[in-house]
Chains A and B, each alone.
Chain A
Amino acid sequence: MAPPGQPDDARPLVALRAVGRDFDVSRPWLNRMLEHAPRQLLRAVDDFSAEVRRSETLALVGESGCGKSTVARLIVGLFPPSRGRIEFDGTPQTAAAEGLWSDAVRRRMQMIFQDPYASLNPRWRVMDIVAEPLRAHGLMTRRADLRARVFELLTQVGLAPADGDKYPHEFSGGQRQRISIARALSSAPEFLVCDEPTSALDVSVQAQILNLMRALQEKLGLTYLFISHNLAVVSQMATRVGVMYLGRLVELADAATLFSRPRHPYTRMLLDAIPDLEMSGRARTPVAGEVANPLDPPPGCAFHPRCPLANQRCRIERPQLKAEPDSTLVACHAAEEGRIPA
């Protein structure tokens, strides 16, 4: 293994080791005292281990509340993990008081958010929005240099240099997301965390942004963590896909394998629920039930109340991620026991 700081293609860019994150959702102190209510913890993410390899797109999918956005926020260091540890290119996160990531690491990762209306300061010109990371990291101070760099970035994402003098409200949703991407790229990061980057966009605009993200990835050798609830978008973008359910990873596989041979019954259910655009008239299994309350997850496998293959073991014993012969990781007793129909 190469020492930290030196590039090594074999070493994952980001590694999460048994990471967990709890949120305190207890009622206020006075209520707890009066009503003798206990503290209540929400396990947003639990025992999450995965690696993001260089230049790949690792996608995380799952329904709302499954913890995929929490994973994204843990990686960029918006809050510290409650358990486990996270490494970036071999460098571990530091104590929360010091800002989780050192400056050197922080400029190598950036984030793109879902809502391009909320993530751009309406009172700032595009010029200043895009230049902000350069200023914050002290990478560039001369005004002329900043202008030149911002023009280059705007051109790179398909906007005109003159757009730098405008305000965010003068742009459509798709153009705003281009501004977010330009801002994320300004510190020349290697790693972008994209949290539902196209979910707020119309489908024709979504195609423009997804194509732009792919082109930039090829040109700049970027590594993406791509969070989405839309499996078709994920299929378009991902190298590997992780499926999450109630805070845990239930399946992790190469994108091609996951979509052609899904193993976990939850993955199968998600794939089956995608509306059939081809109108092939395929019979679909009706989806049963809803995601359980994360404050009170079912014992054993959290998916068992909705699973057509659940048996006594699934109700008691929580399945661990195990590697299949083709190195797909699945956390499912039925898969392990060969009870899953092909």
Chain B
Amino acid sequence: MDARGTALLEVRNLRVEFPTRRGTLVAVDDVSFDIAPGEVLGVVGESGAGKSLTGMAIIGLLEPPGRIGAGQVLLEGRRIDNLRRESLRQIRGRRIGAIFQDPLTSLDPLYTVGRQITETIQAHLPVSRREARERAIALLSEVGIPAPERRLDHYPHQFSGGMRQRVVIALALCAQPKLIIADEPTTALDVSTQSQIITLLQRLSREHHAAVMLITHDMGVIAETAHRVAVMYAGRIAEIGPVRSIIHSPRHPYTAGLMRSIPRVGATGVRLAQIDGAMPRLDAIPRGCAFHPRCPQRFEPCDRERPPLLETGDQRAACWLHGAPRTA
């Protein structure tokens, strides 16, 4: 892999599982990828594909009984998946910033925005109260909040949805993290605000040279923001590669179907291509390729053997169309 050695985040064969009375459900299975500094990796997939769980596993915030069943997560070459809770908490604030979909759940309604930001800064950096406040003002103005000196003393409910999401981004940037994990950061926002937040994320990855993992279900957001994309289906990566190749010449039939099912402006009256059926539930993932029951191009090995990621073009796709199974 090209990014090995220079990668900031390395995820190796990650498996997230949920033990239940009727056996262990595997929600994320054998997922591997890297993100380099300054790079935005988009992770797309439909609900239940395992994209958010992958993000949560990386920052160590899986809700029990969910747990990492196998694999490794390395930040700057050091494993962080086996750390104790306290040391992971340090890393989480200092080196990893997290942005979630709903800005209201990330902010405490009882404290002013200024207090939340300055406390976060002081928790991670050895600065005085006054310096922390100055930094907070600088951060708010960096994420595009007008009149930051005044806004610092406001409570979260006094901000609009878009402004609140900017505050959350400012909070994530407090300790100048190397890695930013953004889980559906624009989904709760209106289109006009959404495009402002996309522009902001792009600028942050460029100027702070941070690695960004952008989790979303919206291919449009990915097309505008990401350098590379990982498409997830039923807990695995179906296809991964440069954003241009994935969008213009997808090699996995699922990605191809997904791209064709997205409505576009100007295509009035044209019937959308649809993928029949639905993604399987975790307790009923089919044998072989998880997509084969819905796949228009399935053939002999697909229901028997699960395809690994195979090189094709300048991307990799988990599909037997791009290489023969060893046993065949």
What residues make up the interface of A, taking CB atoms closer than 8 Å to B? Answer: 63-64, 172-175, 202-208, 210-211, 214, 229-233, 235-236, 238, 255-256, 259-260, 269-279, 284, 286-287, 290-291
Contact = CB atoms under 8 A, between A and B. Distances in A.
A174 B264 contact: no
B273 interface: yes
A241 B270 CA distance: 17
A229 B218 CA distance: 14
Contact of B224 (A231, A255, A272, A275): A275
Interface in B184-220: 190-196, 198-199, 217-220
Give the 10 A-B CB pairs with smallest separation, nearest first: A275-B220, A207-B261, A202-B46, A63-B190, A207-B272, A207-B274, A236-B263, A232-B263, A273-B195, A287-B192
A279 B278 contact: no
Nearest to A200: B47
B162 interface: yes
B163 interface: yes
Contacts of A291: 160, 190, 192
B123 interface: no
A8 B258 CA distance: 42
Contacts of B261: 203-204, 206-207
A287 B160 CA distance: 16
B22 to A, nearest CB: 17
Contacts of B224: 275-276
A36 to B, nearest CB: 22
Given A236-B268, A274-B265, A290 B162 contact: yes
Nearest to B44: A203
A276 B221 CA distance: 8
A203 B265 contact: no
Interface string B243-267: 1100110000000011001111111
B271 interface: yes
A178 to B, nearest CB: 11
Size class of the contact patch on chain B: 35 or more
B63 interface: no
B263 A172 contact: no
Contact of A236 (B46, B163, B267): B267
A235 B265 contact: yes
Contacts of A284: 195
23 contacts: A172-B278, A175-B278, A203-B258, A204-B257, A204-B261, A207-B275, A208-B276, A210-B263, A214-B271, A231-B191, A255-B268, A259-B266, A259-B268, A270-B191, A272-B195, A273-B191, A274-B220, A274-B265, A275-B198, A275-B220, A286-B195, A290-B160, A290-B192
A270 B193 CA distance: 10
A231 B46 contact: no
Contacts of B88: none
B223 A63 contact: no
A240 to B, nearest CB: 11
Nearest to B196: A287
Secondary structure class of chain A's binding surface, majority of residues: helix
A148 to B, nearest CB: 27
Contact of A235 (B192, B218, B263): B263
Interface in B112-142: none
Given A275-B198, A277-B219, A229 B272 contact: no
Interface in B147-192: 160-163, 190-192
Contact of A202 (B217, B269, B271, B273): B217
A207 B273 contact: yes
B272 A277 contact: no
Contacts of A255: 268
Given A203-B219, A232-B263, A286-B195, 20 more contacts: A64-B190, A203-B261, A204-B46, A205-B278, A206-B263, A208-B274, A211-B272, A211-B274, A214-B271, A236-B267, A236-B270, A256-B268, A275-B195, A275-B221, A277-B264, A279-B248, A284-B195, A286-B199, A287-B196, A291-B160
Contacts of B263: 206-207, 210, 230, 232-233, 235-236
A56 to B, nearest CB: 12
Q: Kindly name the residue among A64, A206, A235, A255 whose own CB sees the greatest number of chain B CB atoms within 10 A.
A: A235
A242 B274 CA distance: 27
A259 B244 CA distance: 25
Q: Kindly name the residue among A236, A272, A284 whose own CB sees the greatest number of chain B CB atoms within 10 A.
A: A236
Contacts of A270: 191-192
Contact of A210 (B195, B219, B272, B279): B272
A259 B268 CA distance: 9
B223 A275 contact: yes
Contacts of B258: 203-204
Nearest to B47: A202
A279 B244 contact: yes
B195 A203 contact: no
Given A204-B257, A204-B274, A204-B275, A275 B218 contact: yes
A65 B190 CA distance: 10
Contact of A276 (B163, B220, B278): B220
A264 B250 CA distance: 37
A277 B190 CA distance: 18
Contacts of B198: 275
